[in-house]
């Protein structure tokens, strides 16, 4: 299981209202208690923060708002002492427009780094091609200084690097080495499917004219670039891992980014972010993932992250549904990713128009983590950079840790159960017949098996499972015996009963 930390919102230790690296280090004991194997930390590098850290102006330094390089070293060492691996968020497709590379590149057509980015003349119609940027508008900005356009698949403050230039490849490999030498265990790689590009930058087909480029860009050049990255990471001792964000909708296309075991170890699969809470839809998603990833590409499962509404909010806010979703997420075949605070059952904050800061409208899910029930919720200030999520007086670490019935304890129990069951860790998954509202599957290895039943409906339903079974965990903390029925919204893990 990999736990995503969005550092601005995890815990502030300085009183500026923004979380920092020392805040993460201070809570490693909590993460260990919860049962976290690895953390992925969203970008904390120097950044003008146009996209809150995904616009980097120095990959090899920590932004002062988050601390110092020494704080990063302390976090990495402290996590390792706690048995937690550390993945950094590496953003290879674009830099900040304030990065010295881009400052040089835009300074003149003859600048030494001109070709490190994509500069093109416009066409009579305007932009050099018809690509659209992720946050709206064309993917090109005209720069008066040199009379050409530059490419940015995200904000104009995030110019795309030209990975067709070997100097760029070399410079970005040096960034990986810098952090691997500081003993990080790997990287979550931001929109890695975008790095290879046809230098002709051809128009996308007219019928896709207004579709944002990020969801459809799939260029064969990317694979060779990822293989080089993989070789570099593999050349370091120990087990290092690369997880790529491949923001394509088609799972068989995502599959290609695992290569022949020589590209990504894992690629995100965002299907669940758009899957309604209905058994038929989930059966379909699991079927697609099993079919399209096959045996050799290890799946990933994500219900929430810093780019989407939290799943509790998305699925209607019910406690029962978020508990059942936890059982599902932590029993599927593949590596689950948790987004900080989902273990507390958090919903998105309601952010008034004056407090909105994100150009992509993603503030709600990025609300700060409430640690205590006090008015400042364990932060040094009452008023952090974003408002608190709803019900922070009850949904906070202190209260939930003290309440064995809280969703936090369900997550912890599920993680413990998963760790000790080979079937749940790496067994096969087989969908089972079940009543329409129920998602049922078996996880099995030679020596171990579990059955998972999730009632996605609103009424109690009887489910017949051959053989004798005991409950290992129920999403309903009052249930501890399998009696052949699932209450509305209940999910259970069963293990073979004593004969």
Closest residue to ligand NOJ using C-beta atoms: 54
From the list 12, 20, 51, 490, which residue makes contact with ligand NOJ (rule: CB under 6 A)?
51
| 91: contact with ligand NOJ by CB under 6 A | yes
190 catalytic, yes or no? Answer: yes
Nearer to ligand NOJ (CB atom), residue 245 or residue 400: 245
Among 71, 190, 347, 476, binds ligand NOJ (CB under 6 A): 190
Total residues interacting with ligand NOJ, rule: CB under 6 A: 10
- Judged by beta carbon, residue 91 or residue 369, the one nearer ligand NOJ is 91
CB of 54 to ligand NOJ, least distance (A): 3
CB nearer ligand NOJ, residue 251 or residue 305: 305
Looking at the Cβ atoms of 133 and 434, the one nearer to ligand NOJ is 133
Report DSSP letters for 311-368, one per residue. HHHHTTS-HHHHHHHHHHHTTSSSEEEEETTGGGT--PPP--GGG---TTS-TGGGPP
Q: Under the criterion CB under 6 A, does residue 154 sit at the interface with ligand NOJ?
A: yes
The distance of closest approach from Cβ of residue 140 to ligand NOJ in the complex, given in angstroms and rounded to an integer, is 17
Q: 140-143 and 58-62 as β-strands: parallel, antiparallel, unpaired?
A: unpaired
Q: Which of 467, 418, 473 is nearest to 443 (CA)?
A: 418
Q: Which residue in 89, 185, 245, 348 is the catalytic one?
A: 245
Q: Which of 191, 429, 486, 492 binds ligand NOJ (CB under 6 A)?
A: 191
Distances, alpha carbon 150 to alpha carbons 103, 160, 162, 230, in Å: 12, 8, 11, 29
> Looking at beta carbons only, is 245 or 343 nearer to ligand NOJ?
245
> Which two tokens mark 141?
């900005």
**b/e map of 147-172 (b: 16 or more CB within 10 Å)?**
ebbbbbbbbbbbbbbbbbbeebbeeb
Contact assessment for residue 66 and residue 7, using Cβ atoms and an 8 Å cutoff: yes
3-state SS, residue 130: coil
Q: Kindly identify the residues of this chain, within the stretch 353-382, that bind ligand NOJ according to CB under 6 A.
A: 360
* Residues 6+ away with beta carbon under 8 Å from 293: 251, 254, 255, 258, 269, 299
Under rule CB under 6 A, residue 490 binds ligand NOJ? no
Asked whether the beta carbons of 150 and 131 are under 8 A apart, the reply is: no
Q: Which of 51, 97, 190, 400 is catalytic?
A: 190
Closer CB to ligand NOJ, residue 32 or residue 309? 309
Contacts of 295 (CB under 8 A, 6+ apart): none
Q: Which is nearer to ligand NOJ, 66 or 469 (CB)?
A: 66
> Token pair of 359, please?
């150009």
Q: Kindly state the DSSP code that residue 128 receives in the 8-state scheme.
A: S
The interface mask with ligand NOJ, positions 216-255, x = CB under 6 A, is: -----------------------------x----------
Identified binder of ligand NOJ from the candidate list 16, 281, 307, 448, rule CB under 6 A: 307
Minimum CB–partner distance for residue 245 and ligand NOJ (Å) = 6
With 0-12 CB in 10 A as exposed, 13-18 as middle and 19+ as buried, what is 205? exposed
**Cα angle vertex 139, ends 138, 142, to 5°?**
85
Regarding 160 and contact with ligand NOJ (CB under 6 A), the answer is no
Between the alpha carbon of residue 210 and those of residues 114, 215, 355, 428, the distances in Å are 29, 12, 30, 41
Is 44 near ligand NOJ (CB under 6 A)?
no
Tell which positions 422-481 bind ligand NOJ, by CB under 6 A: none
Among 3, 54, 150, 411, binds ligand NOJ (CB under 6 A): 54
Cβ-based nearer residue to ligand NOJ, 71 or 245? 245
Least CB distance to ligand NOJ at residue 55 (A): 7
Active site residues: 190, 245
List residues near ligand NOJ by CB under 6 A: 51, 54, 91, 154, 190-191, 245, 306-307, 360
């Amino acid at each position: 299981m990999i736990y995503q930390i969005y550092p601005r919102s995890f815990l502030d230790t300085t009183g500026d209202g923004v979380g920092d690296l020392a805040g993460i280090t201070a809570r490693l004991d909590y993460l260990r208690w919860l049962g976290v194997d690895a953390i992925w930390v969203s970008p904390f590098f120097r950044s003008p923060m146009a996209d809150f850290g995904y616009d980097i102006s120095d990959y090899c330094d920590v932004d002062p708002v988050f601390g110092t390089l020494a704080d990063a070293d302390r976090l990495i060492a402290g996590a390792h002492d706690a048995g937690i691996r550390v993945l950094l968020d590496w953003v290879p497709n674009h830099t900040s427009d304030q990065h010295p590379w881009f400052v040089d590149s835009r300074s003149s057509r003859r600048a030494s780094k001109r070709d490190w980015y994509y500069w093109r003349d416009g066409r009579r119609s305007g932009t050099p091609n018809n690509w659209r940027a992720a946050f709206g508008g064309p993917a090109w900005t005209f720069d008066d200084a040199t009379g050409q356009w530059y490419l940015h698949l995200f904000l104009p403050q995030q110019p795309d690097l030209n990975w067709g230039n070997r100097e760029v490849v070399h410079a970005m490999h040096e960034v990986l080495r810098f952090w691997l030498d500081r003993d990080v265990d790997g990287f979550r790689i931001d929109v890695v499917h975008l790095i290879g590009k046809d230098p002709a930058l051809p128009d996308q087909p007219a019928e896709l004219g207004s579709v944002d480029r990020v969801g459809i860009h799939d260029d064969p050049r990317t694979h060779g670039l990822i293989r080089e990255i993989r070789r570099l990471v593999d050349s370091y001792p120990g087990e290092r891992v690369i997880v790529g964000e491949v923001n394509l909708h088609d799972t068989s296309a995502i599959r290609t980014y695992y290569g022949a075991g020589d590209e990504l170890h894992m690629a995100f699969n965002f299907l669940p972010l758009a899957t309604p809470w209905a058994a038929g839809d989930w059966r379909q998603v699991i079927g697609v993932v099993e079919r399209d990833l096959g045996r050799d590409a290890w799946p990933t499962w994500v219900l929430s992250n810093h780019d989407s509404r939290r799943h509790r909010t998305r699925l209607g806010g019910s406690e029962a549904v978020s508990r059942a979703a936890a059982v599902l997420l932590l029993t599927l075949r593949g590596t689950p990713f948790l987004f900080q605070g989902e273990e507390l059952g958090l919903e998105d904050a309601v952010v008034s128009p004056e407090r909105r800061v994100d150009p992509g409208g993603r503030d709600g899910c990025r609300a700060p983590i409430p640690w205590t029930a006090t008015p400042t919720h364990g932060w040094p200030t009452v008023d952090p950079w974003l408002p608190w999520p709803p019900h922070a007086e009850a949904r906070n670490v202190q209260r939930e840790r003290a309440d064995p019935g809280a969703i936090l304890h369900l997550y912890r129990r599920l993680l413990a159960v998963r760790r000790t069951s080979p079937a749940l860790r790496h067994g096969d998954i087989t969908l089972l017949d079940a009543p329409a509202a129920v998602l049922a599957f078996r996880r099995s290895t030679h020596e171990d098996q579990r059955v998972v039943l999730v009632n996605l409906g609103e009424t109690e339903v009887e489910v017949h499972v051959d053989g004798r079974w005991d409950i290992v965990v129920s999403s309903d903390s009052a249930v501890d015996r399998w009696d052949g029925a699932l209450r509305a919204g209940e999910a259970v893990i069963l293990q073979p009963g004593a004969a």
